[in-house]
């Protein structure tokens, strides 16, 4: 695209860069503070002296956390959950979104299905009946409870069906003429052409699974089966017990509850923070559409 050299454009560009950079800085500050706190000394953090740079620099919090078997164990549970959960999520999302993206004339009964799904976004029976259901299925204390209960994400389905609709109809018509079935059309045309939206939804699924902590506590019968966020939640809330613990006395001399907490939160967020830049490269692939001349 040719750039417009006119000065209003230049002014706009400068202002735009400035604005977005300021926004970005505003967003990064709390994380920088968290990082600084995790690398500071107990007393400095407890007195609120740490802003953006560590005071009394030390690595103790990280050594302490990484030496704890709970951290790595729950990280393992989380990874397993993500691997299973995201695959199940995305499969169901694609399979349901595709037929629902069709016109009512092409898929009789779609309206009924759509509302069956949308209704579940709005109504729920609450925790107790859900717990009883999971229990009667024998899924308590199993990783499948964490994978299957959130398996159908209607929000993602609705978004994807809108993206599917945005694809040119001509592609499908041409494929039908060539004798391709619906399964083939879905996997060979729709899915490859939707990489940006699929990447977006994969990110949403990853984040959902990564961040949810309550189901871990609800469905798991032992802390040894907790995913990372459930474990972290108990640490963040239960700081009283950590700081006043009569165990690890020597370590607690060096790290306060707050430096350890900061390090836990930072370590806990880090993996998911790294996912986005990786997925970003799929966001520019929309160009493939350009090859489809009408």
Partner 1 sequence: MMRNWRTQWPFHLMVVPGLVGVLIFCYYPMAGIVIAFQNYMPNRGLFHSPWIGWDNFRYVLDTPDVYRVLWNTVFIAVMKIIVGLIVPITVALLLNEIGKQVWKRWIQTLIYLPHFLSWVILSGILIDILSPSEGLVNAVIKGLGLPAIFFLGDNHWFPFTLVFSNEWKEFGFSTIVYLAAITGINPSLYEAATVDGANRWQQTRNITLPGMTPIIVLMATLSIGNVLNAGFDQVFNLYSPLVYESGDILDTFVYRIGMIDAQYGVATAVGLFKSVVSLVLISISYTLAYRFANYRIF
Partner 2 sequence: MNKQSKQRIRKSTATVTLLTLTALLASACGNNNNNNGASPSASATASGSASASPTAAATASASPAASADGGDAFAKYDPPIEVTTVRSTDATIKFPAGDSLDSNIWTKLFESDYGIKVKNNWIVDSTQYHQKLNVTIASGDLPDFVEVNREELKRLVDADMLEDLTDIYNKYASARLKDMLSQDGGVGIKAATFGGKQYAIPRTFANGGSSTAEMIYVRTDWLKNLNLPEPKTMDDLIKTAKAFATQDPDQNGKQDTFGLGVDNDFFNYGQGSLRGFMNGFHAYPDIWVKDASGNLAFGSTQPQIKTALAALQDLYKSGAIDKEFGVKPSSKIAEEIGAGKIGLAYGFVADVYIHNVSHTNDPKAQWKVLPIVSSDAEKATPQLFDTANSFYVVKKGAKNPEAAVKLLNIYVKERYETDYTVKKDPYSTDPTTKVMAAKFAPVISDPMNQNLDNYRSTQALLKTGDDSKATTAAKLTAENLKKFKDGDDTQWQLNLIVGEGGSYGVVDYYDQNGGGVYDQFQLSATPTMADKLPTLKKKEMETFTKIIMGDASVDEFDKFVADFNKLGGDAITKEVNDVVNAAK
Residues 192-221 that bind partner 2 (CB under 8 A): 217-218, 221
Q: Which of 35, 39, 94, 235 binds partner 2 (CB under 8 A)?
A: 235
CB of 61 to partner 1, least distance (A): 15
Which positions from 41 to 70 touch partner 2 by CB under 8 A, shown as an x/- string?
A: -xxx-xxxx---------------------
Check residue 240 for interaction with partner 2 (CB under 8 A): yes
What would the x/- binding string for partner 2 be over residues 117 to 136, using CB under 8 A? ----------xx--xx--x-
> CA 283, 289, 292: angle at the middle one, nearest 5?
170
Q: Residue 171 or 254: which CB sits closer to partner 2?
A: 254
Is residue 256 within 8 A of residue 243, CB to CB? The reply is yes
Which lies closer to partner 2 via its Cβ, residue 56 or residue 99?
Answer: 56
d(CA 243, CA 262) in angstroms, rounded, equals 14
CB 77 within 8 A of CB 85: no
The binder of 246, among partner 2, partner 1, none, by C-beta within 5 to 8 A per type, is partner 2
Structure tokens at 135: 């229990």
Should residue 280 be labelled a site residue for partner 2 when binding is judged by CB under 8 A? no
CB nearer partner 2, residue 54 or residue 223: 223
Q: Shortest approach of partner 1 to residue 68 CB, angstroms?
A: 20
Interface with partner 2: number of residues (CB under 8 A) = 37
Q: Which does 69 bind (CB under 5 to 8 A by kind): partner 1, partner 2, none?
A: none
The distance of closest approach from Cβ of residue 129 to partner 2 in the complex, given in angstroms and rounded to an integer, is 8
What, of partner 1, partner 2, none, does residue 72 touch, CB below 5 to 8 Å by kind?
none
Binding residues (CB under 8 A) for partner 2: these are: 42-44, 46-49, 127-128, 131-132, 135, 141, 217-218, 221-223, 233-235, 237-238, 240-250, 252-253, 256
């Amino acid at each position: 695209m040719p750039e417009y050299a006119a000065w209003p454009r230049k002014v706009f560009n400068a202002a735009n860069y400035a604005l977005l950079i300021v926004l970005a800085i505003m967003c990064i500050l709390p994380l920088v503070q968290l990082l600084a706190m995790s690398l500071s000394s107990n007393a400095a953090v407890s007195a609120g002296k740490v802003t953006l740079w560590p005071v009394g620099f030390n690595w103790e919090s990280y050594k302490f956390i990484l030496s704890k078997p709970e951290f790595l164990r729950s990280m393992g549970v989380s990874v397993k959950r993500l691997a299973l959960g995201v695959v199940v999520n995305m499969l169901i999302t694609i399979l349901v979104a595709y037929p629902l993206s069709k016109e009512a004339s092409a898929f009789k009964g779609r309206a009924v299905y759509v509302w069956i799904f949308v209704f579940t976004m709005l109504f729920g029976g609450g925790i107790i009946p859900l717990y009883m259901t999971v229990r009667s299925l024998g899924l308590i204390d199993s990783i499948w409870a964490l994978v299957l209960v959130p398996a159908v994400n209607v929000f993602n389905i609705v978004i994807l069906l809108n993206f599917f609709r945005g694809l040119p109809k001509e592609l499908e018509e041409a494929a039908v003429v060539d004798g391709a079935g619906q399964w083939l059309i879905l996997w060979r045309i729709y899915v490859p052409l939707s990489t940006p939206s699929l990447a977006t939804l994969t990110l949403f699924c990853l984040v959902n699974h990564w961040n949810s902590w309550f189901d871990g506590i609800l469905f798991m019968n032992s802390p040894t089966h907790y995913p990372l966020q459930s474990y972290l939640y108990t640490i963040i809330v239960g700081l009283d017990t950590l700081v006043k613990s009569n165990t690890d006395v020597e370590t607690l001399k060096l790290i306060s509850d707050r430096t350890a907490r900061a390090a836990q939160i930072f370590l806990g967020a880090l993996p998911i923070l790294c996912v986005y830049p990786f997925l970003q490269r799929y966001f520019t692939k929309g160009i493939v559409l350009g090859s489809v001349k009408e």
